[in-house]
Each structure stands twice: as structure tokens, then as C-alpha cells.
Amino acid sequence: MVGMSGKRGNGEGSIYPYKNSFAAYAWVTTPDGKKKRKYVYGKTREDVHDKWIKLHAEAKKGPVATRHRTLSAFLAYWLESIVKPNLAPLSYVSYEGCVRLYIAPHLGTKRLDKLTVRDVREWLTKLTTTCQCCAQGKDAKRAPSRRRCCAAGECCEAFASRRVIQAARDALRAALTHAVAEEEIGKNVAALVKVPKPRRRRIKPWSAVEAGQFLADGVTREDPLLAAWVLVLCLGLRRGEVLGLTWKSIDFEAGELYVDHQIQRAGRQILHRETKTEESDDFLPLPALCLKALRMRRAQQFGDRKASGDLWQDGHGLVFTTKYGTPIEPGNLTRMFALRARRAGLRVIPLRNTRHTCSSLLVALGVHPKVAQRILRHSQISMTMEVYAEASEEAVRSALGQLSEAMGGAG
């Protein structure tokens, strides 16, 4: 502030009346190395003095931005410097898509510090009535002879689903949380806007009888993915976990399987990476049926390796591969599952819904409750016993009888 002599030191700045309030400035070095004035404002002289002191402290620490960035500029920084190096590749792909397709086109030009709750609410409302085929030029990207809707003047009204709207809001909220942490803004306006939760489609999982039919059909057709379906249905493994299994993770002597890797599609890459958290890593006991199926798979892969000769690629030592040893595309496994379910004459359910069938199959296979407790990851044995009490052993055992015979009496 101005001293007793009425003079101020060089670069100290000054406080003065401004639009019914007060303002002050200090000289700072900007991120691009230039010297510029940075202004602060407040209702009273004391408010401005406090801000001015803080500004001087900031200027001493290092470069200070004199202009507030737009939301687009901040999101670009957030994606490259925060999300990409610190989060899983799939998270980056998801956030980047939300920013590029849904956030930046509507809110990108707004100043980060001026974004309001109302802006976010109006943006989400607009998303529900914006045809994404028109907005993203999907039809316009087709060859002129194949254009059939928006580019031909017939809007197809491809509006964003509830799930897409929730994902876009969540991406903005995550970015603004970081902006608050870096003290660029005072509050997260996206967190204050509620969005309706997408409704989950309830799909009845397969019974043990249906699962038994599916596996029996795979045995008779010598399905190279039979062991994958067995692990999915009997151990409740997820798609990525099954595809990420290596032969090193299977101990045939101890009858155990170690789950610590997964295969994921992230944008244009297929990644073989560690499971999401250390808690996901686990040693699982292998029931006899699983061991038998994995031995059959080993023999099949040996045959594939011999048949493909020099074309064989053995990058990761994966259990489930194409006939040339390359990783299986996760989306392809989902499609193969649906195809085989139809072929077996069963109703098609999503691959992820098979986890619900796991417990009743373990009962059918005569797996000891203590072993089942580890597979189902129940904290209390009483939970496992409830599952065992509910399952009709007679019905499920008869359903798997055909399967056991076809596989040489395993399980």
C-alpha cells in the first residue's frame, strides 16, 4: 500500500476506487515470460488489499496467468496433463470423447471462472434435444450415395441417451473438481446439477440348467473358447480378466488360478494391462471341470501353433488367442458368446450377466462350500451356505450330467 510519504515502491501496484468498489494491480511474470499487470477487485479497500498481498506472494513463487482460460483450454490441459498420465487408458478415452463430442461444442468458449450452475443445466437440457447425427455430421461423412437422414434433410433425431448425458456431466464434474483443487475456481458448478440416473434393464440370468446346456453344446462342437465360457460361468471372471489370462497364471498342480491382468480395448489399441486395483488380484481355486477345460484348451492351442507355423505370434503367452496367437478383441468375445447361445437354442443374455449364474453352477459341480466361498468372494461362510440351500441340486446336477460325460467325467 501507499506509505507515509505518499510514494510506493517500484512494482508494488496501487489500490484505487473502481465502479463502486476498489481495484489494484501488481506486476507479474506470465507463463510465456512476459511482464504484465495483473488486477484484483473487491467491494472494500481491505478486501482488495488482502487479494493484492496474495497476488504478490503468487508472483514471487513463479509465473502467474493474467487472463482466465476458456473451458476448452482448461479441458485440453486437464486431459493431457492430469488424466492421461494418471488414469487408466480407458478412462482417458472415455473423458476425451465426452469433452470432444458433448462438452466443448456447447460450453468450450465460456470462461472457466464465469461458468455457472445455470450454464451447466441449460447445456444438459440442450443435449437431450440435439440430434447427435446432425451435430457430429455422421450422415454427412458417408458417401453421397449412402446418405439417408440428416445430410439428406431428414433429421433422424438421434438424441443422446440418459447414460451419455450422465457420462458427459460426470466428465465435466471431474475436470472442475481438479480446477477447484488448483484454485482456479471457487466451486464445482457441475456437481450442483443433478441428472436423472439411467434406468437399468433387468435381465434374468441363466439358470444352472441353461448354463449346463450351453457348455454341453460347446463340448460337442469342440469350441476353442469352451474353457473361457467355463471360467466365466464357474468362477464369475469378467471378460477382460478371462482374455488377459496367461499360462503362467495357472497352477495345474495346486489347482489354482491367479487373476492379475486384463485385456482392454482403449481407442485404437488393445492393451494387456494389470487389473484395475490390487484388490481385484486374487488366487482362485479351480474346480475339476475348469482344470479339465483348461487342459483341453492347452492342447487346442498347441494344435493352432503347429498349424500356423511361422505366422504364430506369442507376445504375451495368453491362454485365449486367435488361431495365430494374437489377443482376442474384447468386443468379439461378446459377439461370439451371443452367437453360441443362439446356436445352443438358448435365450441370449449379455456376457456380463453370467456372473449371476456362477453360484448355482458351483453347487451343481459339487464344489465344497469353503472353496465356493473363496470363488464367490463371500466374507462370511453363512452367505455361501444360503446360496447352497437355495439351489435345487437335483435339477442342476442332471443338467450337468451330459457335460461331465462329454468331458470324460470331469467335475
What the chain holds in terms of domains, given with CATH numbers, is 15-61 (no CATH), 71-192 (1.10.150.130), 208-406 (1.10.443.10)
- What per-residue confidence (pLDDT) applies to 265? 66
Q: How far apart are CA 120 and CA 103, in angstroms?
A: 10
Residue with grid cell 468458449, as numbered in its chain:
109
Query: Is the distance from CB of 247 to CB of 299 less than 8 angstroms?
Result: no
Extract the C-alpha cell encoding 358.
456362477
Query: Is the distance from CB of 374 to CB of 234 less than 8 angstroms?
Result: no
Return the amino acid letter for 15: I
- 274 forms beta bridges with 261
- What per-residue confidence (pLDDT) applies to 98? 93
Q: How far apart are CA 347 and CA 147, in angstroms?
A: 35
Q: What is the mean pLDDT of each run of 10 residues along the chain (411 residues)?
A: 46 72 85 79 87 86 75 91 86 90 93 92 92 89 88 87 92 92 84 83 80 87 90 85 87 84 63 52 75 90 88 82 86 91 91 76 72 71 68 54 56 41
- 264 forms beta bridges with 271
Residue with grid cell 462370511, as numbered in its chain:
380
- 250 forms beta bridges with 257
Query: Is the distance from CB of 399 to CB of 209 less than 8 angstroms?
Result: yes
Query: Is the distance from CB of 8 to CB of 30 less than 8 angstroms?
Result: no
- 321 forms beta bridges with 327
- What per-residue confidence (pLDDT) applies to 9? 43
Query: Is the distance from CB of 179 to CB of 365 less than 8 angstroms?
Result: no
Query: Is the distance from CB of 367 to CB of 397 less than 8 angstroms?
Result: no
- What per-residue confidence (pLDDT) applies to 38? 82
